[in-house]
Amino acid sequence: MYSSFLFIVTLPPILLATNNFIDDYLDDAKIKYDNANKRVKRNFVLTSYSNQDIPETSTFDFIVVGSGSAGAVVANRLTETNFSVLLLEVGEEAVEITDVPVLAPLFQFTDLNWNYLMEKEDNMCLGLVDQRMAWPRGRALGGTSIINYMIHVRGNKQDYNRWEKMGNPGWSYRDVFKYFIKSEDFLVKQQDKGYHATGGYLGVQDVAFRTESVHAFVKAAQEAGHPFVDYNGRKQMGVSYVHATTRRGLRSSAEAAFLRPIRDRKNLKILTKSRATRVLIDGHRRAFGVEFLKDGKYHTAMANKEVILSAGAFNSPQLLMLSGIGPRRHLQELGIPLVQDLPVGRKMYDHITFLGLIFTVNQSIVSDQSVLEQPVNFLKLVLRGEGPLTTLGGVEALMYFKTKESDDPSPYPDMELIFISGGMHTDKGLFYRKTFRITDEIYNKVWKPLEDKYAWQVLPMLVHPKSYGFLELKSKNPFHWPKFHGNFFTDAGNKDVKTFIAAIREVQRMAKMPAWQKYGAQLVTTPIPGCEHNIFDSDDYWECALRHVTATLHHQVATCKMGPRTDPEAVVNHELKVYGVRNLRVADTSVIPIPITAHTNVPAYMIGEKAADLIKAEWL
């Protein structure tokens, strides 16, 4: 299995940060997948997914659009029966090097990423290139699970209980818990008994390499009063080493976990490089197929039973609107015939993080780029699933807590802290900072002086934002990007900014604990360019900094919101059926009605599992 992988990782000089590597794989920070890359793809990919022929019209029981975390699960579970399934994916198979966790940031510069950008927003993203935030989304077999940071978080019990209280029966934590269990092969050492299972398709494990700095972070959090927890277990509030969706130290993507094991099923047809352009809907408002483009030619696939959209929080709503399902006025303006008037894309929540909270220490306890360049570490990864290449792009720990700004009466976190044993400076500005589009001016002022020092960062993530945005079509051309409006920090009362500042204060308090002071931890006090007019460390300074260097963590939800018919924002019901159109469902993170206390990859697997059961219950 690892022959092609060994070929890649033993290419001389095997130094990821050398100029040779950059020259070979980069052109203006864009990794090129040339013919040599394609020749070293997984052997089974070349045989198992190579049957790409399809007649101009074919018929299946179900058509699933999108092979990401939800779509891969739906395709897997439906083909456990005699149902025939066509799985359409616009991207292609990734090369095996995507399985190396530490390289996660690099793949955002490749064709595996849609490379979407948010529309420019007033008084926001002031320190990002062109004042536009990068919104990465996976464009490959396996979807975003091919390029994400593999952080495994289910979410808080109250997240799902609130879904049910909003009018979505069957979505309480008690209801969805079994689907989390069903998917996972959970091998984390410190876990709450009764909350996990082994034997599932999705690998979950501890990261096999930890720097000394993460131990300091975890201990300091406890010294500051935050308990150590299994955040996927009994209680979420507290600190923990990160749980990773990996197996033997390698990425456990949706493709690797749910598609690779079933590649020989006769009732499953997978077509890559196949772009769905619209759902076919008859005069009785019944979805009966999908039009898609492959190899420069349009094809039609017919569905005897249902079409399931699992194209993600951006592309599922885009496809609905291209098919005539969306806001009446918006579709009429674009000249798209209206099939069903629904608020598709009109609400979109996201998790954002602040990039400018940096601390130095006086010892080499943090990530070291030179360690990654040692050839022996590739052998450790391949042969034993160990070593520094197993780290999730530098993420080593998480902490969930409730700030003083929260007005929620229950013990419900409003912030997550993501500990990184390094920062934008670790790779000397080559990749990490470019994934966030940090300008040269800001990088050179704040991070470049740290390149030869020991420094770490915490990324505070606002888990329940008050602000929300929307997406809309640019035109009726299916090959035009949608327009993404984040509308960050626009909530009345400036609550989102205040919550961020409260989180910054908590991190500063933790940095003063003995576990950190043992290493002389100090806040980096270089002001963000553009904020020098504010007194450093004042609330006004931090708000200015937030408006300069804040970025998404790729967790957009609610663009095809799930809710009861009485909910004017709802697009699908609790069975994920699109209102007003028969035989059409949406099963991905776009249906999540409110922001959740999680990274959305694992909830997407859960949604896929539950969707498959809902579909089976109706058609078996």
Which parts are annotated binding residues for FAD?
144
Residue with tokens 């020259």: 23
Instruction: Using alpha carbons, select from 64, 66, 68, 62 the residue that is nearest to residue 604.
Output: 68
Whether 352 contacts 516, CB under 8 Å: no
Main-chain phi, psi angles of 219, to 5 degrees? -70, -40
In DSSP notation, 94-149 reads PPGGGG-GGGGGGGGGSTTB--EEPPP-TTSSTTBGGG--EE--B-BTTGGGGTS-
Whether 201 contacts 80, CB under 8 Å: no
Instruction: Using alpha carbons, select from 48, 49, 43, 45 the residue that is nearest to residue 3.
Output: 43
Whether 62 contacts 615, CB under 8 Å: yes
Does residue 464 carry a catalytic annotation? no
- Other CB atoms within 10 A of residue 541 CB: 18
Main-chain phi, psi angles of 449, to 5 degrees? -65, -15
* CA 604 to each of CA 15, 26, 336, 588, 601: distance values in angstroms, whole numbers, following the listed order: 35, 32, 30, 6, 5
What distance in Å separates the CA atoms of residue 37 and residue 578, rounded to the nearest whole number? 40
- Other CB atoms within 10 A of residue 481 CB: 17
Determine the Cα angle at 400 with ends 398 and 404, to 5°.
Answer: 140
For the record, the structure tokens of 202 come out as 């999705």
What distance in Å separates the CA atoms of residue 277 and residue 353, rounded to the nearest whole number? 33
Catalytic residue among 152, 226, 548, 555: 555
Task: Give residues with Cβ within 8 angstroms of 41, minimum separation 6.
Answer: 4, 93, 95, 96
Q: Which residues are annotated as a binding site?
A: 144
What distance in Å separates the CA atoms of residue 163 and residue 593, rounded to the nearest whole number? 7
* CA 422 to each of CA 364, 388, 419, 470, 551: distance values in angstroms, whole numbers, following the listed order: 11, 13, 9, 33, 18
Residue with tokens 């984390």: 188
Peptide bond into 564 cis (omega under 30): no
- CA 241 distance to own-chain centroid: 19
Instruction: Using alpha carbons, select from 551, 486, 555, 478 the residue that is nearest to residue 119.
Output: 486
Instruction: Using alpha carbons, select from 1, 97, 166, 60 the residue that is nearest to residue 563.
Output: 166
What distance in Å separates the CA atoms of residue 48 and residue 411, rounded to the nearest whole number? 48
- Other CB atoms within 10 A of residue 508 CB: 14
For the record, the structure tokens of 310 come out as 């699992």
Given CA atoms 194, 199, 204, 208 in this order, what sign does their dihedral have?
A: positive
For the record, the structure tokens of 365 come out as 């306890």
CB burial of 217-254 (b: ≥16 within 10 Å; e: otherwise) equals bbbbbbebebeebbbbbeebbbbbbbbbbbbbbbbbbb
Does residue 351 carry a catalytic annotation? no
Determine the Cα angle at 333 with ends 327 and 337, to 5°.
Answer: 70
Please list the active-site residues. 555, 599
